[in-house]
């Protein structure tokens, strides 16, 4: 059975999610946004 998810809504694999410190992140899209924000804050000192 194949499931189709909207872009960014793919659930994280339990192994991928296990090591995440922000436990509220549950999809690949949420992780992408979190990482991008973190990088920009580090770059611009925010």
> What's the confidence (pLDDT) of residue 1?
75
Indicate the pTM of the whole model. Answer: 0.69
> What's the confidence (pLDDT) of residue 3?
77
Tens-digit pLDDT profile for residues 4-45: 888 888 888 888 888 888 889 999 999 999 999 999 999 998
> What's the confidence (pLDDT) of residue 46?
67
Distance, CA of 1 to chain centre: 24
> What's the confidence (pLDDT) of residue 34?
95
> What's the confidence (pLDDT) of residue 40?
94
User: What is the distance between the alpha carbons of residues 32 and 38, in angstroms, rounded to a whole number?
Assistant: 10
DSSP string, 3-35: ----TT-PBPPHHHHHT-SSTT--BHHHHHHHH
User: What is the distance between the alpha carbons of residues 44 and 10, in angstroms, rounded to a whole number?
Assistant: 29
């Amino acid at each position: 059975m194949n499931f189709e998810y909207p872009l960014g809504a793919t659930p994280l694999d339990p192994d991928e999610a296990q090591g995440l410190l922000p436990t509220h992140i549950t999809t690949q899209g949420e992780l992408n946004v979190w990482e991008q924000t973190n990088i920009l804050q580090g770059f611009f000192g925010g």
